Structure 1
Amino acid sequence: MSTPSTPRMTAPHWQQAAPALFVLLWSTGFIGGKLGLPHAEPLTFLLWRMALVAVALTIVSAWVKAPWPGSWRAAAHIAVAGLLVHGLYLGGVFAALDQGVPAGPVAVIVGMQPLLTALAAGPLFGERLTRRQWLGLVLGLGGVVAVVWEKLALGIGTPLGLALCGVALMGITGGTLYQKRYCAEMDLRTGTAIQYGATGAVLAILAPMLETMHVRWTGAFIFALLWLCLVLSVGAVFLLFALIRQGAASKVASLFYLVPPVTAVMAWALFGERLGPLALAGMALTAGGVALVLRR
């Protein structure tokens, strides 16, 4: 008499699809920025985004009674991480797009963040890199150099725009490491509200000093602003929160190397951005390098 086999436990369909959906949504951030920037200057655009998301997340946090930081010191650490991630990173990305750097190359350059984070994690957290990960770092760097070289050779974008991509890369890398070290216990809902609020406060000072703050409230700008606020800053972040609770965060990390090519495809379909053979090869190198670094 045969015994019945034990049924295999499978994850719900939403959980299987959620990591890829998160990467898809994250990729639209570059597209939303490019869509809205013709109608507002970069810091002004970001100020509106920070303010709206901070208010929305504060309301949500109060509604669900999410815990706030237990001390002013903890809140200050969260704010610093937010200024790095949302201020330098998003500010650099938006300013680079405003300088004419195409969305695809911007995504490739800032997509080096997992590689730089892995490289810096060694001295900071005692995490040692394997030979495979060192190979990934070299390949990823070579890919970025190829993409940047082609764009400069074609006269697309400006050296300042590419330098701003570097600022964005330093911001997201530094913010990730800072948050890992000092904000490990942060509640994602209230912590993100603090981060957006702190960044918005700084932008409220800088934007009037550096820009006219004029906004053309066109349909395209309103759509881009609402998309970045609701779908990306709230929807994607809370999707990530759900994935972490379900133990699927590692899948998100392993799929991050898909963000640059997904962004490039979107930019080609929506804006006609094209990548030459050298840039395509560089993108493939970068994706392969990040995959080697993140693979377990």
Structure 2
Amino acid sequence: MPDAARLVPPQFYPCLFVALWSTGFIGAKYGLPDAQPLTFLSLRYALVLLLMGAVVLWTRAPWPARGSRAWVHIAVSGLLVHGVYLGGVFTAIAQGLPAGITALLVGLQPLLTALGAGLFLGERVRPAQWLGLALGLIGVGLVLAHKLGSGLATPALQAMLLPAFVALLGITAGTLYQKRFCPAFDLRTGSLIQFLPCLLLTALAAWAGGESLEVRWSGSFVFALAWLVLVLSLGAVSLLHMLIRQGSAVHVASLFYLVPPTTALFAWALFGETLHGLALAGMVVAVTGVWLARR
């Protein structure tokens, strides 16, 4: 996948990343009815390891220096970016939290990352970037305003929100950690180092949490699993690593503001979900905010 990604001009990496990453919520909607969330993710991680392991053997990709701390740093970043983030998102959606609300909560990441980048990475966030981050948040809120106002404020919603907040903290901490401790590593061997602990801990959590570990191998589940493995875990994640390597943490995080509007477009095209005029206006505001944050 890294070789394939190089066929795309680097200036298009951000747009491609947003488009691919946004399909993750769609894949979850297709696959989760046929498997419980952590079981689904365990299968996903196992397939990624098999495929990327074959790539590593075929290309003889280099590993980090033996005995170096890079192994630990890469593994920790993977647990945060993949294990905690995806575990929280899939659990929230499986418990009934609408994908749009989940995307909105995860959409808070750019603001948290901007705060963390100043504290832990020494990055200077300019006033124009803060304005862009604020506009992006407003735009995301406008896109999903009709969902927030549709009678979802029930006591049961509070229990659903917890996994989504855990996912938000995971992706924010993972982005900052990787930028600080391991911004550059071979994406092939690095994927093995990242996904192996994710598989072990997610499978253990599925067993400890009482999941049935059963899967109904429907056509929609097979499609969703294949899409999430090939397009998300290999394609979009490789792009994310390259973007973290090339840019500041704030620049990369600002792209996540475009995920909820893009997900809304996919949901409109695939499932016929309505896009209100307020949502269209929010998309324009979010795009403007990301443009300011990335200038």
So what's the TM-score if we normalise by structure 1? 0.82
Q: C-alpha displacement at 1:83, in angstroms?
A: 0.9
Summarize the Cα distance change of 1:74–1:21 in structure 2 as closer, same or farther, 3 Å threshold.
closer
2:116 is matched with: 120
Summarize the Cα distance change of 1:266–1:149 in structure 2 as closer, same or farther, 3 Å threshold.
closer
Question: Does the CA-based 8 Å contact 1:103-1:264 persist in structure 2?
Answer: no
Summarize the Cα distance change of 1:188–1:169 in structure 2 as closer, same or farther, 3 Å threshold.
same
1:180 is matched with: 179
Q: Deviations over 1:202-249 (max 9, x none)?
A: 01211012111121111110110011101221133445678899x799
Q: C-alpha displacement at 1:285, in angstroms?
A: 4.4
Please say if 1:94 is aligned against 2:90. yes
2:162 is matched with: 163
Summarize the Cα distance change of 1:127–1:99 in structure 2 as closer, same or farther, 3 Å threshold.
same
Could you tell me how far apart the structure 1 residues matched to 2:35 and 2:123 are? 42
2:223 is matched with: 223
Question: Does the CA-based 8 Å contact 1:112-1:286 persist in structure 2?
Answer: no
Read off the aligned partner of 1:259 and give its amino acid letter: V
Q: Deviations over 1:152-174 (max 9, x none)?
A: 43134823333322221111110
2:40 is matched with: 45
Question: Does the CA-based 8 Å contact 1:104-1:267 persist in structure 2?
Answer: no
Read off the aligned partner of 1:117 and give its amino acid letter: T
Please say if 1:107 is aligned against 2:103. yes
Read off the aligned partner of 2:54 and give its amino acid letter: I
Q: Deviations over 1:179-208 (max 9, x none)?
A: 111112322111121111110000121101
Please say if 1:153 is aligned against 2:146. no
Q: C-alpha displacement at 1:24, in angstroms?
A: 1.7
Read off the aligned partner of 1:273 and give its amino acid letter: E
Extract unaligned runs of 5+ from structure 2: 1-5
Question: Does the CA-based 8 Å contact 1:103-1:267 persist in structure 2?
Answer: no
Could you tell me how far apart the structure 2 residues matched to 1:265 and 1:29 are? 13
Please say if 1:62 is aligned against 2:66. no
Summarize the Cα distance change of 1:144–1:239 in structure 2 as closer, same or farther, 3 Å threshold.
closer
Read off the aligned partner of 1:134 and give its amino acid letter: W
So what's the TM-score if we normalise by structure 2? 0.82
1:206-221 maps to which residues of 2 (within 5 A)? 206-210=205-209, 211-221=211-221
Question: Does the CA-based 8 Å contact 2:107-2:137 persist in structure 1?
Answer: no
Read off the aligned partner of 1:100 and give its amino acid letter: G
Query: Which one of the candidate residues 6, 9, 14 is aligned to 1:15?
Result: 9
Summarize the Cα distance change of 1:276–1:125 in structure 2 as closer, same or farther, 3 Å threshold.
same
The range that moved more, 214-223 or 159-168, is: 159-168
1:29 is matched with: 24
2:261 is matched with: 261
Could you tell me how far apart the structure 2 residues matched to 1:244 and 1:55 are? 25
1:226-237 maps to which residues of 2 (within 5 A)? 226-237=226-237
Backbone CA RMSD of aligned residues: 3.1
Summarize the Cα distance change of 1:53–1:122 in structure 2 as closer, same or farther, 3 Å threshold.
same
Q: C-alpha displacement at 1:293, in angstroms?
A: 2.0
Q: C-alpha displacement at 1:134, in angstroms?
A: 2.1
Could you tell me how far apart the structure 2 residues matched to 1:242 and 1:116 are? 21
2:291 is matched with: 291
Q: Deviations over 1:232-290 (max 9, x none)?
A: 21133445678899x7999x947554322121111122233345566665555444433
Question: Does the CA-based 8 Å contact 1:67-1:187 persist in structure 2?
Answer: yes
Summarize the Cα distance change of 1:72–1:101 in structure 2 as closer, same or farther, 3 Å threshold.
same
1:230-249 maps to which residues of 2 (within 5 A)? 230-238=230-238
Question: Does the CA-based 8 Å contact 1:83-1:195 persist in structure 2?
Answer: yes
Extract unaligned runs of 5+ from structure 1: 1-11
Could you tell me how far apart the structure 1 residues matched to 2:26 and 2:104 are? 14
Read off the aligned partner of 2:159 and give its amino acid letter: L
